[in-house]
Chain A
Amino acid sequence: MELRVIEFHLDSRSGVSPYQQLVRQVRHALRLGLLRKGDQLPTVKDVVAALAINPNTVLKAYRELEHEGLVAARPGLGTFVTATLTDGSLAAHQPLSQDLRRWLAKARLAGLDEESIEALFMATFRASTREEIA
């Protein structure tokens, strides 16, 4: 009897496709240490029974995670976590973190309050993501 280590949810308004949401939630859980090496991800059947979504969506998400090297599917047994994202991944991006701090300082000097900074960041982030796809 496997433990229920993670529960998925879907945000139908987020504009992000369902399978991407599942992928992100797994990565998020890995980052936070909620999922550890060797944990079994919920079976397709259980995810689908909880969320009422298409089984292929779950399969696709698990395949992508497998492709990224984070999980591995063992036929007949389930899908298991094979890597984590907590160990030093943030530490490895220290220079990026510092660039970001500098930018934030500039934004505050320019007179932007917290909300405006967040709005500016999200708008630019979304626009650039879209441009990448197009």
Chain B
Amino acid sequence: MIWLTWRQFRAQALVAVGALAAFAAALAVTGPRLAHSYSTGLAGCTTLGDCSRFTQRFFADHQPLFLALSSVVLFLPALIGLFWGAPLVSRELEAGTHRLAWTQTVTRTRWLAVKLTLVGLAAMALAGLTTLAVSWWASPLDRISGGRIPRLTPPLFETRGIVPIGYAAFAFALGVTVGILLRRTVAAMAVALVAFIAVQIAVPLWVREHLMPPTHAITAVTADNIDGFELHQDSLVVSVDAPDPQGWLLSNRTIDAAGNVVASLPAEVAAACVPSPPTAQEITERKEAPGVKQQCFAAISRLGYRQDVVYQPGSRFWPLQWIETGLFGAVALALTAVCFRRIRRVS
């Protein structure tokens, strides 16, 4: 049975190995160069004192490649589910070869178990190796991007660590299950893809932030942590960065001295902070020169306004990775159980 599984999987495996080898080769060539130019540049700018301009430019230079490689890791599980998972059983059902396979001296359960295990493990290995390669290549950039795109935020979270392995297992199991239920390869591929994408949108949006209880913090609004002001007609809304620069900001609310949430800051704050509002349009301002805004921040703190921030600290990266991987792994196992139950009743 192992031989048969390998023989049927051979073409797909060779494509994957070939692609991975080419991919790894490209990374191996460019990676050390990247690390080298980063370290020399860093050494150069520390002597000058301020590295922020160097890091910004370095990141901007490599951003397209950075995003492209991270996208590969992002899309890989979906492709695995589509091309390895969906056809695994449905192609046999469509061609009628299950009537040949299931009347040899091997039970359906064992047949499915060997196929699921071998191809599933291959899928997880592929996802793991790809993620590892990209994480290694992008480590200098990850260190820089920490300020702008922390590892903890989507979609970067989905392309680092071990969650891609969980996604691959889930996508594969989903593909196989849909294939068994629908019995047609193309339809199964379509349905599995849509379902997988839906899950991958829903989890970062609604599920992940609750996997561990987020941290509340009440901070003053200062020049250091200001993110921006928004002015709509009469209301002024302020937002700040998370206290932890590596953290994942979830929500931002202004509270007054008594602790009540306010929807907008009063007019005198607006006068101090946003002197000449042009029209009733949003203005988002980046960090201004310190002097101009001192009256602004002084006014805010004098009136007792503070910011209530909800965020996940950067230190939670690995715990969340493990929890999310475990979650997807459990769902994959549940789908596998569905597969085994269903395969006994297929005809």
A contacts B: CB pair < 8 Å: no
A residues with a Cβ closer than 8 A to B are none
